[in-house]
Amino acid sequence: MTPGFRELRDQLARLCNKISRQVQIMEVCGTHTTSAYRNGLHAMLPENLRLVSGPGCPVCVTPQRHIDAAIELAAENDVMIATYGDMMRVPGRLGSLEKLRARGARVHVVSSARSALQIARDEPAASVAFLGIGFETTAPATAATVLEAERDGIENFSVLMCHKLVVPAMLALLEAGDVPLDGFLCPGHVSVITGAEAYRPVVQRHAKPCVIAGFEPQQILLGLVHLLQCVQSGRARLENVYRAVVGDMGNRAALDLMQRVFVTADTPWRAIGVIPQSGLELAPGYHRFDAVRRFSLTLGEDEDHPACLCGQVIQGKAEPAECPLFDHGCTPLSPIGPCMVSSEGTCAAWYKYNRSAKALRDLPQSQEVSG
């Protein structure tokens, strides 16, 4: 039985008390960020425990050039765009898909790559491009959908590949060497696919504890307890508190799908730059489903706002409030940087929940609820 909320909170407090210095944990995944905020967990954490949001949010790390490519496809090539709702408001140089739709382009929000394929099936005269975003959890779904398109001969379907890999990004972050991190809260659902062992290099090469946790509030708190135990004992361990769904070796069928359809590639991350072997592209046998090739798109360069600190923010090097644009031109209603776009974006979450952090701290203690 998982310990209750109060017990977990007390354990965190005791551990932080013993450690008695500032502890900085990166929650790599945007869904952890959102869940922690939505469940009000920050108000339960000890003062010397700080959570830093990492580069695990596709909205934040998909470079402008891919948004621009989608816009070009719709505007110039009359292609219907199918996308997860997450990407609708992400600004490229030419605007966002939301604004493009308002100008008359056909942009469909789908909840699965298979729905995008279904649109292509239903409208054989149209050309449908699916925006393939997300990490290891989502990429196999795109792979399976490409295989389905091939099997059923649906040639008016293509994918704009933006899939990325988590572990290379974590390693790149550590190799840059300037982020003071005590450990990683690792994404539960990526780990379902990759297996827990995928984080072994992080632990071995960089001596950073990695704890895999799910997204329910109890899981997050339990993951943090395990991380603090590692920090306190000074031992970098790889732990998994999400054993209900995460095994050591991952999901073989999903990994096979990815291996069949994709190859790894050096990939640009928004505001971070190119990280070696951190992205996925379609393997040569599936190039005809690649929207960039099919429509001979040229991916340009990104032109992020020079003052925008999103790159620093998603590497844990800066807090949103340190950005000169934060709340001065960049707000959730008119985002300049990607971290202000989705509710899980670090800046948007800060804007939403932390702008009044002081006011929040001054409030009376919340009522006790035991799990």
One-letter amino acid for residue 88 of the chain: M
Can you tell me which of 25, 49, 52, 58 binds another protein, judged by CB under 8 A?
58
Considering the complex, what minimum distance in angstroms separates the CB of residue 187 from another protein? Answer: 6
Dist CA 81 CA 158 (whole Å): 10
| Torsion from C-alpha of 91, 92, 98, 99, nearest 10 degrees | 110
- Kindly state the number of chain residues that form the binding site for another protein, as judged by CB under 8 A: 78
Smallest gap, in angstroms, from Cβ of residue 348 to another protein? 9
- Determine, following the binding rule CB under 8 A, whether residue 245 of this chain makes contact with another protein: yes
Which two structure tokens, joined as six digits, stand for 84? 């997860």
Choice from 3, 19, 39, 99 touching another protein (CB under 8 A)? 39
Q: Enumerate the H helices of the chain as residue ranges.
A: 5-19, 30-38, 58-61, 64-77, 97-102, 113-122, 139-151, 166-176, 188-194, 200-206, 217-233, 252-261, 291-294, 310-313, 346-349, 357-362
- Give CA–CA dist 335/329, Å, rounded: 8
Q: Which is nearer to another protein, 253 or 274 (CB)?
A: 253
Q: Considering only residues 25, 30, 53, 162, which one is a binding residue for another protein as defined by CB under 8 A?
A: 30
Q: Is 303 helix (H, G, I), strand (E, B) or coil?
A: coil
What is the footprint of another protein within residues 9-28 (CB under 8 A)? 9
DSSP 3-state of 331? coil
300 vs 332, which CB is nearer to another protein? 332
Candidate residues 49, 67, 238, 254; the one interacting with another protein per rule CB under 8 A: 254
**Other Cβ atoms closer than 10 A to 239:** 21
70-89 residues in contact with another protein (CB under 8 A) are 82, 84-86, 88-89
With contact defined as beta carbons under 8 Å apart, do 208 and 170 qualify?
A: no
Give least dist CB 313 to another protein, A: 16
Taking CB under 8 A as the rule, does residue 53 contact another protein? no
Q: Could you say which residues in the range 319-338 bind another protein, by CB under 8 A?
A: 332-333
Over the window 264 to 303, marking each residue x when it contacts another protein by CB under 8 A and - when it does not, the resulting string is: ----------------------------------------
- Kindly identify the residues of this chain, within the stretch 166-225, that bind another protein according to CB under 8 A: 187, 189-190, 192-193, 214-219, 221
Closest C-alpha to 53, from 343, 293, 332 = 343
* Token code pair at residue 134: 């997300």
Question: Of 77, 112, 229, 232, which one interacts with another protein (CB under 8 A)?
Answer: 112
- 270 within 8 A of 61, measured Cβ to Cβ: yes
Q: Using CA atoms, how far apart are residues 1 and 322, in angstroms rounded to an integer?
A: 42
Residue 125 near another protein by CB under 8 A: no
Written as six digits, the tokens of 274 are 């190119």
Q: How far apart are the C-alpha atoms of 145 and 139, rounded to whole Å? A: 10
121 contributes a contact to another protein by CB under 8 A = no
CB closer to another protein out of 125 and 359:
359
Site for another protein in 88-107 (CB under 8 A): 88-89
Helix, strand, coil percentages (3-state) for the chain, rounded to 5, are 45, 20, 35
For another protein, which residue of 40, 273, 276, 324 counts as binding (CB under 8 A)?
40
By CB under 8 A, tell whether 165 contacts another protein: no
Q: Which is nearer to another protein, 21 or 358 (CB)?
A: 358
Q: Which residues contact 7 (CB under 8 A, 6 or more apart)?
A: 370, 371
Site for another protein in 134-163 (CB under 8 A): 134-135, 137-138, 140-141, 144
Minimum Å gap between C-beta 218 and another protein is: 7
d(CA 67, CA 78) in angstroms, rounded, equals 16
Tokens representing 267 are: 């990939």
Give me the residue label for tokens 């013993």. Answer: 18
Specify the stretch interacting with another protein by CB under 8 A; choose among 14-22, 69-77, 228-236, 348-356.
348-356
Q: Which two tokens stand for residue 363?
A: 């409030």
Binding segment for another protein (CB under 8 A), chosen from 11-19, 29-37, 224-232, 270-278, is 29-37
* Closest C-alpha to 143, from 290, 258, 251: 258
Least distance in angstroms from the C-beta of 233 to another protein: 26
